[in-house]
Amino acid sequence: MEARAKARQIRVSPRKARIVVDLVRGKSVEKALEILKFSKQAVARPIEKTVASAMSNLAGKFEHPVEPSEMSVKEIFVDEGRTMYRIRPRAQGRAYRIRKRSCMISVTVDYKGEQEKQ
């Protein structure tokens, strides 16, 4: 059994987010949350919240309590979000474009216990 969670329009570049996401892919949820908690990157906090949300969504499908060690991060990926364009004034009346990128984080958590609810 699996559950999903998405975080949209996170104001960090997808390239920076993918570096952190690669650290937790395939790990147990317990280990993934621990890695994200002690990560120095700013994007680790939104990823941690998204993984915790997916974990909560999965726990809600069972009648008995489910431990984070019994769940694993089956799939986690980062897509590009909307890009905001801003202008930076330059010399001689020119203007350069500034791109403020955002990303969307998608997490799928899987239950790897022996007794699954059917």
CATH code for the domain defined by 2-111 = 3.90.470.10
pTM, entire model: 0.86
3-state SS track over 78-111: EEECCCEEEEEECHHHCEEEEEECCEEEEEEEEE
pLDDT tens for residues 30-55? 999 999 999 999 999 999 999 999 99
Instruction: Give residue-wise pLDDT tens across range 94-103.
Output: 999 999 999 9
What residue segments make up the domains of the chain, in order of their start? 2-111
